Structure 1
Amino acid sequence: MKFATFVHDGKRQSGIVADDQVHTFEHPVELLDLILEGEECLRGVGEHALTGSPPVPVADVRLLPPLQPPTVRDYMTFESHVAGVARGYGDTVPEEWYAAPAFYFTNPYATIGAHEDVPVPPGCLRFDFELEVAAVIGVVGRDLTPEQAREHIIGYTILNDWSARDLQGREMRVKLGSAKGKDTATTLGPWLVTTDELEPHRNAEGFLDLALTVQVNGETIGRDRLANMAWTFEEMAAYASRGTWIRPGDVLGSGTCGNGGCLAELWGRNGALEPPPLIPGDTVTMTVEGIGTLSNTVVEGAAPVPLPPARRRR
């Protein structure tokens, strides 16, 4: 099943998607609330909507993020991506990367829909995209094994981790990782695809083998396979739950795919800002086999509000 949140006739609604049409739930309800009730409830409401509500063409609605996630963990699970970015700094993949699926927490309030405009972050001159797939947690859990974690994932969606590379680079020199460089926009969508729909794509190693493609203004920039991840989503979820709780609605991003999944990787490999950073008017389109397509256009952003430098206390 595919579940979407959208605006139609000026109203925020949720429903189930089938054959390029959306069937609205009979009673207004947020998708996250149904996930909290359990997968059986979610499927039951979806099946009722398929037979009980008139369809609306997907083209006639404005898609929103499928759900408002309470947390978003974004990982780095594609070795080729890490290697390409590191090369731009004259470096290689650090040994620590191989030890565990590292992640950072990004801003859950900055999620946007599949076709919404994306403002350039204030002060950014090197704007970038990141093609990812995300798993959505459906059942609360703690200290899970990967085998247990599979039952805690309810579905998948596409994630574009928009990145202000110049801001990010300055922040990481302070040893605090990504902050404002990743703070203003994360696309989620176009909908939530339940796990059973993608099971036929699971390979012998346990990875979902899906084709990933990203284009800028109609030109293909990157292609990869989701099966090139170094860890499965179940292993990522188990690591996320180590010593703490994962809860329904939590989003786990795969991290950027390789082979051109973002511009920064290509800049590292090419030794130059080629292809160039995104500018207003550029449209980034991402397609993931079995899930769907996102297409966002970059627009002018706000100017940064001036702040003073640090008061030196030596």
Structure 2
Amino acid sequence: MRLVTFDAGQGEMVGAVASDGSILDLAAAAAPADRPALATMQSLIEGGDVVLDRARDILARNRGDHRHAAADIIFCPPLPVPNSIRDFSNFELHCLQALDTSMRMRAASQPDPEAAYASFKASGAYDLPAIWYERPYYFKGNRMTCSGHESTIQWPRFSTTMDYELEFAAIIGKRGVDIRAEDAAEHIFGYTVYNDFSARDEQVRDQQFRMGPSKGKDFDTGNAMGPWIVTRDEIADATNLAMESRINGMVQGRGNSSGMQFSFEQCIAFVSRDETLYPGDVFGSGTAGNGCGFETGRYLEPGDVIELEVEGIGILRNRIGERRT
């Protein structure tokens, strides 16, 4: 099932996508006793299988009332305020290509850029550390800055270089601690497409202190998700999904979730060691190889329309706002 948070003029509602593409307002179509659990995406997720099965039943029985055309609604972030956001660095190709770009940028400022590049490469300073292959690394994002499908992404005043990140995310649906990898799938509620926008020039400054991104990632509207959450049962194999990015309709990069060093189940097992996970936690896959302008050289410009497509989940589309002074 595909579940959305939408606004049809009366505030945020939770909907299910019908076979004809229309959006069913679940709470409006439900019996009064069921409406509180269907009032928000968070309450639906927290309700577990019982509430999810009720939502499926409401959709199956619906005969066309309480529906909205997709063109007539505003898509909100499917989970407007996640319980938390953890974004992983999980694709080797992306990491290697980003490190190579960093080397070339640093070498460009030297008298002999090619010689400097060769020296940096030979030094091993830009190699992925061995421990990257042993444990999943992540940073925590700002859960208050989410935006949805078809929304405009605000260009932060402090940045001149805006970039996109081709990702998808798993939404935790079941509380747990010390979760074994072989049991972790049952803790996943579903998946959504995720664009972890980056103020790339600011991120370069952030990383000089080696604490990971801060203002390079933290600005209003910077965490785009959508267009909906696809429940776990709809995705047969999350480790083999085609991924593609497009700017103004032109393909920029293609990848596959098979490139993830660690599966979501392994990430869940790692994070949940002596730490409780909660319904509504979001785990980002990390950027796929060839999944950002830092790798391809094509950064975003005001007015660009960026689309991220992940097989089995859908297309997340956003427009880039104007530079502000």
Using the size of structure 2 for normalisation, the TM-score is: 0.85
2:219 aligned with 1:188, yes or no? no
Separation of aligned partners in 2, 1:283 and 1:58 = 19
Report the counterpart of residue 235 of structure 2 in structure 1. 198
Displacement of 1:49: 4.0
Q: Which amino acid in the other structure matches residue 13 of structure 2?
A: Q
2:286 aligned with 1:255, yes or no? yes
Contact 2:18 2:59 in 1 (8 A): no
Note the alpha carbon deviations across 1:85-139, whole angstroms, 9 max, x for none: 0112232222221121100000000110011000112211111000101000000
Identify which range, 6-15 or 71-80, moves more after superposition.
6-15
Displacement of 1:56: 1.7
Report the counterpart of residue 56 of structure 1 in structure 2. 68
Report the counterpart of residue 55 of structure 2 in structure 1. 45
Report the counterpart of residue 243 of structure 2 in structure 1. 212
Note the alpha carbon deviations across 1:214-271, whole angstroms, 9 max, x for none: 001111001011122111111111111112111000000000001x2011122xxxxx
Separation of aligned partners in 2, 1:164 and 1:83 = 20
Separation of aligned partners in 1, 2:295 and 2:128 = 13
Identify which range, 83-92 or 212-221, moves more after superposition.
83-92
> What are the within-5 Å matches in structure 2 for residues 166-177 of structure 1?
166-177=201-212
> What are the within-5 Å matches in structure 2 for residues 1-314 of structure 1?
1-19=1-19, 20-25=21-26, 26=28, 27=35, 29-52=39-62, 53-67=65-79, 68-90=81-103, 91-184=126-219, 185-199=222-236, 202=237, 207-258=238-289, 260-266=290-296, 274-275=297-298, 277-303=299-325
- Identity, % of aligned pairs? 35
Judging by fraction of residues, say which structure has more helix: 2
SS at match of 1:193: strand
Total equivalences in the alignment:
288
Displacement of 1:75: 0.2
Separation of aligned partners in 2, 1:116 and 1:51 = 32
Question: Higher Cα Rg: structure 1 or 2?
Answer: 2
Identify which range, 54-63 or 142-151, moves more after superposition.
54-63
Contact 1:198 1:208 in 2 (8 A): no
Displacement of 1:50: 4.3
SS at match of 1:182: coil
Contact 1:284 1:295 in 2 (8 A): yes
In the alignment, structure 1 segments of 5+ residues that lack a partner are 267-273, 304-314
Separation of aligned partners in 2, 1:287 and 1:236 = 23
In structure 2, do the counterparts of structure 1 residues 141 and 301 end up closer, same or farther at CA, with 3 Å as the change threshold? farther
Displacement of 1:301: 4.7
Report the counterpart of residue 32 of structure 2 in structure 1. none
In the alignment, structure 2 segments of 5+ residues that lack a partner are 29-34, 104-125
